[in-house]
Amino acid sequence: MSVLSFTLRTIREPFQRWAESRRPRGDSIELNQKRIFIFPSAAGGGFLLVALLLLLIGTNYENNLVHAVAFLLLSLFVLSIIHTYGNLSGIRVTAKESHSCFAGERAEFELHLTANGKRVRENIQLAWKGGTPQTVKAIDGDGCRVRLYHPAPKRGRLKPEPLLIESTFPLGLLRAWSWLEIESSAIVYPAPLQVQMAKSQVLDGADGGRQATDGGEDFSGFTQYQPGMPLRHVAWKAYARGRGLHAKTYHAQVDDRIWLDWEAFSGQPTEMRLSSLCYLVIQLEKHGDHYGLRLPGKSFEPDRGEQHRKRVLTALALHPGDRV
């Protein structure tokens, strides 16, 4: 068994390397004979069995007309090589926009497919490697836009897996396919992690000194402790009295300019910090607040609006992670 799988691997691996080295890359790729593979599909195997069965019947009954039908079916099979190939060749796949998403969601890539010549290409499946295929009903010279969703498990810059474009049209007997390395990317924001907006993480922009992150000056009260709150704000005395876990909150001089600071989450793992910040950004944007962000080596002045949000979230997404 292991010998067999080993043999299979030794055969398959160089082939895969070779196939991968031939994979076209770029943000706009046209399919041609160098890039299209073709092989009988399962349905084609069944069709060949039917033709073989007819040949057997024709042979046994010495019936030349049954032979003729079997040969006709075989001819159809051979012809459909050209037709299936023709259905895929000359399609140009162009990466258009990509849309950001949060980690754990699926990033949307917009592709533009055009067909050269006047032939309409029909029934084409598109899928990222390992993803579920999506059927494109028709592609003509004017082209069509396809939205493909790519799983985005991690934050950062998402480079899509190779794109599989395949078709068994018109008779379903052969499968023509091609792997394309689409050069496009999408920003995957950190997965938002719900945190209470502690005032300590939020600073007035006016005196935004670093020491301010150690806590505001004015104690204002207690609040239910939420994961993510700094441990040193926990009201241990209250906890010891059996009143549950509470956090002390401090008043900062709040106006509508809010700073989100990386350092406010110190003591937490990087990813958790980023996720919490991400959540806060979403919340603040939703409330229409002005907010700024300070990351090590980077800072964004308080602002609001879609552009700002995107910039800030992108910064969070691309923040270097912990290198092990």
Partner 1 sequence: MSEQYRLSRPALLWQFIAIAVVVVPHLSHLPSWLLVLIVAAVGWRLMVHMGRWSFPHWSIRTLFSLAACAGVFLSYGGIGGVNGMVALLIAGFSLKSLEIHKRRDALLVVYVAFIVATSALLFDQSVWMAAYVLIAVQLTTAALLAIYQTHNVDMGRPFRTSAVMMMQAIPLMLVLFIVIPRMGPIWNLKMDVGSARTGLSDTMSPGEITNLTRSSEVAFRVRFEGKRPPQNALYWRALTYPDFDGRSWYRDEARERQPVPTESLMIQRPVLKYDLMLEATGSRYIPTLDMPLSAPVGVRLNPDMTLRLNLPLQKREEYSLESALQYRLTAQGEALNYVRELSLPIGNRRTRELARSWYAETGSGDAFIARLMAFYKSSFTYTLKPPKLGRDSIDKFMFETQRGFCGHFSSSMVFMLRSVGIPARVVAGYQGGEWNPYENYLVVRQYDAHAWVEAWLPQKGWIRIDPTAAVAPQRIERPSEELFSEEEDFLRDAPLGGLTIGRNSLLADLWLQWDAFSYGWQQWVVNYHSRQTDVLKRLLGEITPLRVALALLIPFAIVMCLVALKLFWRHWHLVRDRHDQALERLSQRLAHKSGLGRQPGETVKNYSDRVAEIRPDLALYMQEIAYCYEQMRYAGDDTGSSARRMLNMIRQCQTKV
Residues that bind partner 1 (CB under 8 A): 28, 43, 46-47, 50, 53-54, 56-57, 59-76, 78-83, 86, 89-90, 92, 94, 112, 114, 116-120, 122-123, 125, 133, 135, 137-138, 141-143, 168-172
Tally the residues of the chain: 324
- The distance of closest approach from Cβ of residue 133 to partner 1 in the complex, given in angstroms and rounded to an integer, is 7
Closer residue to partner 1, CB minimum distance, 12 or 137: 137
Residue with Cβ nearer partner 1 (79 or 245): 79
Rg of the chain over all Cα atoms, to the nearest angstrom: 30
What's the closest the beta carbon of residue 59 comes to partner 1, in angstroms? 5
Instruction: Please name the residue that has the structure tokens 């162009």.
Output: 94
65 or 240, CB closer to partner 1? 65
Query: Contact at 8 Å (CB) between 279 and 300?
Result: no
Residue 291 CA, chain-centre distance (Å), reads: 28
Residue tagged 């998403």 (tokens): 101
Q: How far is the CB of 122 from partner 1 (least distance, A)?
A: 4
55/318 with CB nearer partner 1 = 55
Q: What is the DSSP letter of 191?
A: P
Q: How far is the CB of 226 from partner 1 (least distance, A)?
A: 43
Q: Kindly state the smallest distance separating residue 206's Cβ from partner 1, in Å.
A: 45
Per the CB < 8 A criterion, the answer to whether 17 and 151 are in contact is: no
- Tell me the backbone φ, ψ of residue 261, rounded to 5 degrees: -120, 135
Min dist. Cβ of residue 173 to partner 1 (A):
9
204 strand-pairing partners: 258
User: What's the rounded Cα separation, in Å, for the pair 90 and 112?
Assistant: 13
Nearer to partner 1, 110 or 122 (CB): 122
Which CB sits closer to partner 1, 172 or 321? 172
CA 127 – CA 134 distance, rounded (Å): 6
| Amino acid at position 237, single letter | K
